[in-house]
Amino acid sequence: MIAYYESRLLFPYAKGAIIALKSMGWQEPSATPKLKEASTSISIKLIETGPEPASSEKEVAI
């Protein structure tokens, strides 16, 4: 029965489902989840590809 009301939470008008679930002891999850500290680090390496840009219009061949 709880699964039915939980599925109804996805609909635009979910107030009835919320009331029914709360009457069955269901509690809403907190609005802001607690973040854990990241234990890993990220490194970014930029790699240039392609030809070097032309310094003037005379260097451009069409």
d(CA 26, CA 34): 20
Average pLDDT over residues 4-33: 81
Average pLDDT over residues 8-24: 85
> 0.75 exceeded by the pTM?
no
If one counts every other C-beta atom within 10 angstroms of the C-beta of residue 31, the result is 5
Residue 56 scores a pLDDT above 80: yes
Q: What is the pLDDT of residues 20-55, one digit of tens each?
A: 888 888 877 766 666 677 677 788 888 878 778 888
Cβ(29)–Cβ(13) below 8 Å: no
3-state secondary structure of 39: coil
